[in-house]
Amino acid sequence: MVDISAKAILVVDDSSTMRRIVINTLGRCGFKNMAEAGNGVEALAKCKTQQFDVILTDWNMPEMDGLTFAIELRKMPNYVAVPIMMVTTEGGKKDIIDALTKGVTSYIVKPFTPDTLKAKMDELMAKCQ
Amino acid sequence: MGKGIHMSDKISGNDGMKALLAEFQRSAEDAFQTMVFTAITCGVPQPKQPGFPVGAISGTIGITGTKFCGRLSLVFSTPIAEKFFRSMMMMDDTSPVNESEMKDAVGELANMVAGGAKARLQQNGMDFVISLPTVVTGKDHSLESPAGCTTMVVPITLFDGKFDMEFAMS
């Protein structure tokens, strides 16, 4: 059984509302160690100074979008295998396949319910074991 | 393929506009039900009249595709925006609302509506790119219809009030 309270999660989204919704939902699921970033550039900077266990990132963001962030993150040796979940409105099959082939582990399409996010996180945490 | 609009369809005229608009309406219903935890009721679309509708806060997403271009906007009064924001953030009815966060939420909802419609339309072979949201605030403002576009307005009932969805297409 994974101790999720010890897992370090990075939530990346340019929308403060979405960051709050995601962090509140994860908090109710038992996650305690969460950080946030407003775009891919900020997120990359955080990943260079801190090791996260799971990354949740939006797709459409200013400065650096989520897909570019995922591609850049995979170039860092300590992030080659860290699960990345794309939290996105870009729910078309073409977009999803594109993201999965470029290093994204999983995805959740906005809008989503708290239960859906929890289920997706459970799947992702199982991969962390 | 299911019902709705298809890649082979020529997106023009009233029928093309209605078919596209229907996908955006369905996406709006889904976004509000899931993120705001309340059902909305879409009214009958009407051609946009200059200076109408008016609102205090509006979120807009630009749309660029090979079949059509345009924009989607959600136009709210302050009381309705505050009410949906509180519901979305699971706040109680008397909690103070931070204007900056409310603006962010309006932009994010517009993003979800456009993104959801994009996913639906992609299933039928139609692709387009959506922009980042822009949010405008100001008492009784109205949005200009983009040059060369036909703009329709859908009145939408939410809680005990209404807001408007504008869809412009060329």
What is the predicted ipTM? 0.80
B110 Cβ under 8 Å from any chain A Cβ: no
- Using one digit for the tens of pLDDT, what is the confidence trace for B39-67? 999 999 999 999 999 999 999 999 998 87
- Using one digit for the tens of pLDDT, what is the confidence trace for A96-110? 888 899 999 999 988
Of A20, A62, A111, the CB nearest to B112: A111
**What distance in Å separates the CA atoms of residue A114 and residue A95, rounded to the nearest whole number?**
23
Q: Is residue A91 part of a domain?
A: yes
Higher-confidence residue: A21 or A6?
A: A21
| Interchain contact, B114 vs A89, CB within 8 Å | yes
Q: Which amino acid is at A47?
A: C
B86 Cβ under 8 Å from any chain A Cβ: no
**What distance in Å separates the CA atoms of residue B97 and residue B86, rounded to the nearest whole number?**
7
B146: closest CA of chain A, how far (Å): 23
Mean pLDDT, rounded, of chain B: 89
Please report the pLDDT score of residue B19 as a whole number: 83
Look up the pTM and report it.
0.86
Q: Where does the pLDDT of residue B13 fall: very low under 50, low under 70, confident under 90, or very high at 90 and above?
A: low
Q: How many helices (H) and strands (E) does chain B have?
A: 3, 8
**Pick from A99, A15, A13: which is nearest to A57 by CA?**
A13
Contact residues, A window 42-71, toward B, CB-based 8 Å cutoff: 60-62
**What distance in Å separates the CA atoms of residue B152 and residue B159, rounded to the nearest whole number?**
23
**What distance in Å separates the CA atoms of residue B43 and residue B109, rounded to the nearest whole number?**
19
A91 contacts on B by Cβ (under 8 Å): 115-116, 118-119
- A111 has a pLDDT exceeding 80: yes
State the DSSP code for B123. Answer: T
Tokens of A15: 């929308």
Q: What is the mean pLDDT of residues B33-43?
A: 94
Domain of A105, CATH number, reads 3.40.50.2300
B116 Cβ under 8 Å from any chain A Cβ: yes
Mean pLDDT, rounded, of chain A: 90
Q: Is residue A75 part of a domain?
A: yes
Q: Is residue A105 part of a domain?
A: yes
Please report the pLDDT score of residue A89 as a whole number: 84
Q: Is residue A23 part of a domain?
A: yes
Of A17, A18, A111, the CB nearest to B30: A111
Q: What is the mean pLDDT of residues B67-92?
A: 93
Q: Is residue A24 part of a domain?
A: yes
Q: Is residue A128 part of a domain?
A: no
Residue found by looking up tokens 């996406």 in the block: B27
Q: Is residue A127 part of a domain?
A: no
Q: How many domains does chain A have?
A: 1
Q: Is residue A125 part of a domain?
A: no
CB neighbours of residue A113 within 10 Å: 13
SS3 at position B85: helix
Please report the pLDDT score of residue B161 as a whole number: 93
Q: Where does the pLDDT of residue B7 fall: very low under 50, low under 70, confident under 90, or very high at 90 and above?
A: very low
**What distance in Å separates the CA atoms of residue A7 and residue A92, rounded to the nearest whole number?**
30
DSSP letters spanning chain A: ---GGG-EEEEE-S-HHHHHHHHHHHHHHT--EEEEESSHHHHHHHHHHS--SEEEEESS-SSS-HHHHHHHHHTSGGGSSS-EEEEES--SHHHHHHHHHTT--EEEESS--HHHHHHHHHHHHHHH-
Distance (Å) of CA B113 to CA A34, A95, A110, B71, B90? 28, 17, 9, 12, 20
In terms of residue numbers, what domain contains A52? 4-120
Percent of chain A with pLDDT over 70: 95
A77: closest CA of chain B, how far (Å): 31
Q: What is the mean pLDDT of residues B32-42?
A: 94
Please report the pLDDT score of residue A69 as a whole number: 96
